[in-house]
Amino acid sequence: MSVERIDITHQGPYAEGREFGAHGAFELIRARLRYAVNPLLEDHRRITDLECANRGTDGCVRFNGDLVLMRPIDPSAGNGSLVIDVPNRGRSLLPGALNRTPPEFSLSDPLHPGDGFLFSQGFSVASVAWQWNTPDMETLLDFEAPEALGLDGKSISGETITDLRPSEAVASMPIEHLGQPGYPVSENEDGRARLYERDFEDDEPREIPRDRWRFARQIDGGVVASTRDLWLEGGFTPGKIYEVVYPTDRSPVVGSGLLAYRDAALFLRDWQRSYERVHGFGISQSGRFLRHLLYLGLNRNPDDLSQRVFDGIHIHVAGGIRGEFNRRYGQPSQLFLAGPIHEFPHADVIRDDALTGAHDGLLKRSDEQGVTPKVVKTNTSWEYWRGDASLVDIDPSSGEDVPQHPQSRHYLLACTQHGAGQAEPIDSFYLTADRSMYRHNAVDQTPLMRAALVNLDRWAAGEREAPPSSVPSLANGTAVTREEALAQLGDRLTTPDADRLSRVRTVDWSTLPPVEGDEYQGYVSAIDESGNEVAGLRLPDLTQPLGIHTGWNPRHPDTGGKDLTSHFVGLTQWFDRDEIIRRYGDKESYLERVRADAEALAAERIILAEDIDLVVANCADRWDVAVSS
């Protein structure tokens, strides 16, 4: 067991002692886990640079990170399952996402119980730190990775790259991604760095002359040198994409976070009490992390190779990509920069890649090891429109649907955006300050996510299989190219330029910036007569529509980037009030139809029976907004 010690810093009542149905009150534990891993074990040899870290007299590499655990005070009161959240950039997202925590608590109190869904179901919930570069903030989980050292005993120096995406005109920008600090610039940089500019993601990079920029920060008194900021003469242009390549003298063992997450799960399974099932859960970056963990074959106990670590894994809004979770100078928060994030394989089952000649599958190693967990993947329309989610189920070379892995289920949450929609009109994304042309998508996919987790747990328990996959398919005509889908919408909306949408390509990572090659063809759902998607799991928002809902939203002209789309959000465009009344008559009649559709979804286990009222209430809220717009 590679967790050699747990240091508890807090143990007390959770949510002020609130009781959650039959499962009673919960307790909150905060702790620091101390890890010690042998870099010479078979599975550990796949962790980049682990063998370069300092070792103790026992030959083990040591590192440590935060743990948060919420569990019933009465050990016999839970449902037998522990769900371990992969924090997203240091934030615990699982409690807020499935408990429908009010948005105002998402940053200030990520463990807020919300409506208590997870705990009322009897789940114990943990969050395990894994990312080496989270900011020093009280609400974020911290992880201290070991450093990869050269023969001189110092951190290995080399070149790294990051991108900067301004939404407003600024003179300087911090070298970071979505608030996560990047690598510091070497003090002896000596003009070796390069800065490039693009108009859109698939554009060719243009180098900016070195005398126009420097590593510095704009302040009231002028410009001061900085190893963490970039200053550009004339300022950064909103909507442009900048990529900076520079030397750094930091080299954390980025992949040690994968081992921390795995080993925390092994430790927690039997620490003080035993769980019948342990599940992994990740949203967005964290879901890509889980895809990477599975690909590396890390779902087994290194001390007992026949023991599975996770019985089930729920991967949400990760699409068909992975991330920089196991490479030297890897930046786990990176999402759009071409590189390891887009590498083949994308599908679970073994496929031949016509573009690179590779022969691989995401679950190949775990299948060979005999430890493949039950896997549920839920994606929103936004990941399909990003260009990668369809690669999980459609072979981009042959144009054929990919055979379903028997241990995996995949669902498109139709007409949804990267995060849950709200009835209130919002047009700006809180993490990037991007403003969109239309209000953000209003569809709340939380009921679908809740049912997916419960279905996964019951499947892992051997009670019943999860419902069949529901995704766009070429065989049944529900999958089309993005160009075809935009054409199906006609002139009902201002649509993005299809040529400027992001694409997944082969990448030569031997040079920086990396050189992109051939495109992997992506697909999205076809559109129905109301302007909504026909494929996937369709809530009553779509079967009884009050408007058009998409997985894309053009950037507002004030934020630059003409013809580009906003990150992470879709749009909702309500029908005219007269059209809504013509379709449904009045609110009461509308909600009767909504309830009938919700009950049908519950009968198929697409939503939970206890969430029928939630679905109806959501639609009632949207009715009020739509008819008053």
Note whether 317 and 485 are within 8 A (CB).
Answer: no
Residue 168 tokens read as 């407003």
Indicate the pTM of the whole model. Answer: 0.97
The tens digit of pLDDT for each residue in 192-226 reads 999 999 998 888 999 999 999 999 999 998 999 99
**CA 21/CA 18 separation, integer angstroms:** 10
pLDDT for 221: 84
The tens digit of pLDDT for each residue in 161-174 reads 999 999 899 999 99
Determine the residue type at 557. Answer: P
Sorted by where each begins, the domain ranges of the chain are 3-146+254-386+401-412+446-454, 158-248
**CA 505/CA 206 separation, integer angstroms:** 19
CA dihedral (602, 605, 611, 615) positive or negative: negative
User: Does domain 3-146+254-386+401-412+446-454 match CATH 3.40.50?
Assistant: yes
Alpha-carbon dihedral 378, 89, 95, 366, rounded to 10 degrees: 50
Give the residue carrying structure tokens 């028997």. Answer: 406
- CA-based angle 96:99:103, to the nearest 5? 45
SS3 category, 253: coil
Determine the residue type at 33. Answer: L
pLDDT for 1: 64
**CA 499/CA 202 separation, integer angstroms:** 8
Segments of the chain with pLDDT less than 70? 1, 431-432
Pairing of strands 515-520, 504-508: antiparallel
Note whether 117 and 148 are within 8 A (CB).
Answer: no
**Residue 290 half-sphere exposure, CB side, CA atoms within 13 Å?**
32
